[in-house]
Structure 1
């Protein structure tokens, strides 16, 4: 692998409903061909959505944030491009013609799919499940929610916020929330 080339995020269009199957197929092909250094991450962005059933019970389910799309972090070579492009269920890369266009750093950051700076995991986090928090940054800044889950490894919390007229779970980084 060339030291000058850096893996970038690309968007791959798939048939509707085939996102997870495409992800699994590409992961298997990467492993069998030894391409782990070229295709490093595959993500089907999802979010937890709390829905109320007809009987009045709340039910949490995962919803795809970008239906029919898989995000791939890769270094474009003939072989890596071939593996992704010729996977069953893939219709192509997002970009003009057949040329893949990488996402900008701002787009990657806005999607929240990757943080380049490694995070130090420590236990000095002053959050507990059930704590009331306010979102400090991001699209829901100013919103108040309740901590449902804490992940010290990724330094994120699942926060239940009343968004769009219903309770919705969001994964938010510790530095973007503050305890009330």
Structure 2
């Protein structure tokens, strides 16, 4: 009995100590949970504070630290390419515009002549003459203005001429002829004396317009009638073209002694001796398109002027 009592006391003491240890462990766990909750709560409050007032410097530092050098290099290359392409496009656009402007701003080869024509005293009048007597009438008016002391009223007399290529029977011939047959141009101050001197010149049949109060030519009319009397300088070459030097090449019109629909005879070539009908005339190249009847069908044949003859 006495031995059993101390053993029970020891067991009770051990149980009490075990209970105290369990309570101590539970207290430690609870404290650790409380301490772990405090930092989380503090961090949450810190995040809320940062969302309310963002730290820009911190964000920029974070972005710089997070930057990818390879990605940045790719982006920089792309930007450089875009900039180069934009620069090339801008240069091409500017270059094209400058070329267009240079093409548009062409120098008029008749500019000097127009200026001279505007500055001359008097006005241009047109008089009738007998056909084929234009040059003689010009000479007669010039003689009368001197003999009758009219140099201060009658200034100039012109018979506009032109070069024409005449093609007859396949032969080309350059002919200088009167541009406006039966007309003579006179530059003068119109008054009774000047009118009388011109009107009563041998070969003159009258003034164009009102017989006693003729109407002068407008500037553009006078220019168009007189521009064939001057030699124009060569116009500056456009960018990319080559200058030929000398005076500007004149296009000489051609007069052809053929008519569309006219029947001719081919005198040379594979179809020599056959008749044909002129279907097209090309004065610039000296060619004809002739319809030749072969096997009951009309076949177009291109021939030069000297390969055919009139019937």
Taking structure 2 as the reference length, what is the TM-score of the superposition?
A: 0.37
Pair 1:81 & 2:168 matched: no
Pair 1:44 & 2:177 matched: no
Please state which structure has a larger fraction of its residues in strand: 1
Please state which structure has a larger fraction of its residues in helix: 2
CA–CA separation in structure 2 for the residues paired with 1:158 and 1:15: 30
Shift of 1:15: 1.5
- Choose between structure 1 and 2 for higher RCO, CA contacts under 8 A separated by at least 6 residues: 1
| Two-structure CA RMSD over aligned residues (Å) | 3.4
CA–CA separation in structure 1 for the residues paired with 2:194 and 2:227: 21
Go from structure 1 to structure 2 and tell me whether the alpha carbon gap of 1:53 and 1:8 turns closer, same or farther (over 3 Å shift). same
Partner of 1:174: none
Shift of 1:165: 3.7
Go from structure 1 to structure 2 and tell me whether the alpha carbon gap of 1:16 and 1:44 turns closer, same or farther (over 3 Å shift). same
CA–CA separation in structure 1 for the residues paired with 2:228 and 2:244: 23
Partner of 1:101: 215
Q: Which runs of 5+ in 1 are unaligned?
A: 1-5, 116-120, 130-149, 151-155, 168-180
Q: Is the 8 A contact 1:108 1:114 kept in 2?
A: no
CA–CA separation in structure 2 for the residues paired with 1:8 and 1:65: 20
Shift of 1:41: 1.5
Q: Which runs of 5+ in 2 are unaligned?
A: 1-120, 238-242, 256-280, 285-311
Structure of larger gyration radius: 2
Shift of 1:100: 1.3
Q: Is the 8 A contact 1:9 1:71 kept in 2?
A: yes
Pair 1:22 & 2:137 matched: yes
CA–CA separation in structure 2 for the residues paired with 1:114 and 1:74: 20
